[in-house]
Every structure is written in C-alpha cells, then in structure tokens.
Amino acid sequence: MSRPLVETSSGDAPFVFSADGHKSLYFTLDQLQSRMCSAHPNQLEVDYTRTMMGFLLFNRRPASIAMIGLGGGSLLKFCYRHLPTARLTMIEINPQVIALRHEFEVPDDPQRIELLCADGADFVRDAAANNSAGYDVLLVDGFDSAGLAPSLCSQRFYNDCYQALSPQGVMVANLHHDDPQHALFTARIRLAFDGNVLEVASQEKSNSILFARKGKPISMEEIRQSNPLKNFDPEVRTQLQREFARISWEATQIA
C-alpha cells in the first residue's frame, strides 16, 4: 500500500539526458546515477545493478524486498517484473528523484509497491524496532552528488539493517570502491553481520558490492554450485547468467 509522499530537505536536483535510445539520470555530469534503454525499460543497463541481483544466489524467491535509493528505478523495475510474488518497498529521500519516476517508466502498482519519500536510515531504524517478520532482502544504493550519504554507512545503520532483516535475510550494499573510507565502511558491515560477508567488485571495478547475510553462514561451495536462474525466463538468464558466473568465480578466488 502506498503512503503519501512527504517533502524532505534533501535537495540535489537530478536531470535526465537522452541520447542513442537511452535515458540517463545525473546529479552532475561526471556521476551517472542510472541508465535506461528506452526500447527495453526493464533491462539492467549499469553493470553494478546486475551484481546486486546476486542476492538470488542466496534466496531465489524473496517474499519482501526493501530498497534504499530509487535513481531511475532499474532494480525496482527488474524485481517487479521477474519476482512477481515479492512485496517491494522503495525508500527515496529526494522528492525530485521521485518526481521523475514516470520518465523512467517505474510501475505504479500500490498493491505490490510501496514508495516512500523518507530517509533510508530512519526507515531501517523504525523497521528494526517494529518489523518482527523482517525483510528477506535489503538493497542499499543511496548516493547523491556528494557520494554515499553519511547516514547510510554508519555503524548504527548497518546494525539496524541486520535487525530489520528476516532470520535468513540478505543485505546488499553498493559502495564506491575508491572511496577513502571504503575499508571503514566494509569493516562496519562485517562487525554488524559477524563477518558473514562476501565482497565482489563490479565488472567495471568502480563499485564494490557487499552481500551480508543474517543467520546461515555464506558458503562459497553453495554459491559455486547454485543455479538460481534455472526457473527464470530467458530474459533473466540473458542478463544475469554471465554476472552470476563471475560472482561464483570471485567466490572461488576468496575461498
């Protein structure tokens, strides 16, 4: 069920650039936030989004997914299309980003999508305190023109993420690989999840994706032997098969 959009003070003004059959979302021209192919609006165009879908290696049919950071809605649209039984909650602090959702063909389906204009850290803190069932997947991708929002990389935030998850839930965090505080942020995630973390650099190496699991330990053997895409349609396998093979290979190097 949708809640009313609430104005916030978060003020980066996004803009859309269209060229060569694609629409791209920017805050500044040197920082791409999202990209959509106009002919295939549900396709994952940016490499790190395909890496973040690696949560399917741990849970092929999540019932509830919360996402922090709308951007152009790539992950939301993909999950909406290909995980039809999942309940989706999207949290975006910037009302100007939300205002562009129709530009990027984000579905308007209050039966399955709850879109909130709110601070992701506040949302997770409240969920940790009040949501006894928890989310099966929590995707954290909250960037603005200055980079990763400070409230989304504190020790308190990651602790709250752990508490907001279901007993076997997975948090997936997108970090900038070259951020001077990258090691600090990953250490905080490891502390919150008792070291049950797998880090995978995106294919273009600019993003670092951390999978942190609550409950059952992450097993490299499980990842290598997993075939989570076998029951999905060819569209999903075409987009994700190669990336999932790369994640499995990365896990092999770590083990």
Burial 183-212 (b: 16+ CB within 10 A, else e): eebbebbbebbeebbbbbebeeeebbbbbb
**245/119 Cα distance (integer angstroms):** 34
Alpha carbon 186 to chain centroid, angstroms: 16
In this predicted structure, which of 9-23, 124-138, 200-214 has the lowest mean pLDDT? 9-23
One-letter amino acid of 175: L
Q: What is the pLDDT of residues 167-224, one digit of tens each?
A: 999 999 999 888 899 999 999 999 999 999 999 988 776 889 999 999 999 988 888 8
Q: Please report, for residues 98, 180, 184, 253, the alpha-carbon distance to residue 213 in angstroms, rounded to integers and kept in the order given.
A: 29, 25, 19, 19
The sign of the dihedral angle between the CA atoms of 171, 174, 180, 183 is: positive
User: What are the sequence ranges of the domains in the chain?
Assistant: 47-254
Query: At a CB cut-off of 8 Å and minimum separation 6, what does 198 contact?
Result: 210, 211, 218, 223, 251, 254
DSSP β-ladder status, 64-68 and 31-37:
unpaired
pLDDT at 85: 96
Q: What mean pLDDT comes out for the span 94-119?
A: 94
Read off the pLDDT of residues 63-86 as tens digits, 9 standing for 90 and up: 999 999 999 999 999 999 999 999
DSSP code of residue 151:
G
Give the CB-side neighbour count of residue 10, counting CA atoms within 13 A: 25
CB 66 within 8 A of CB 89: yes
Q: What is the pLDDT confidence band of residue 15, given thresholds at 50, 70 and 90?
A: confident
Give the helix/strand (H/E) hosting 247. Answer: helix 234-254
Residue 145 dihedral angles phi and psi, to the nearest 5°: -65, -20
- Would you state the torsion angle of the CA atoms of residues 181, 185, 186, 191, taken in this order, to the nearest 10 degrees? 140
Known catalytic residues are 141
Closest by CA position to 29, among listed 39, 21, 19: 19
Whether domain 47-254 has CATH 3.40.50.150: the reply is yes
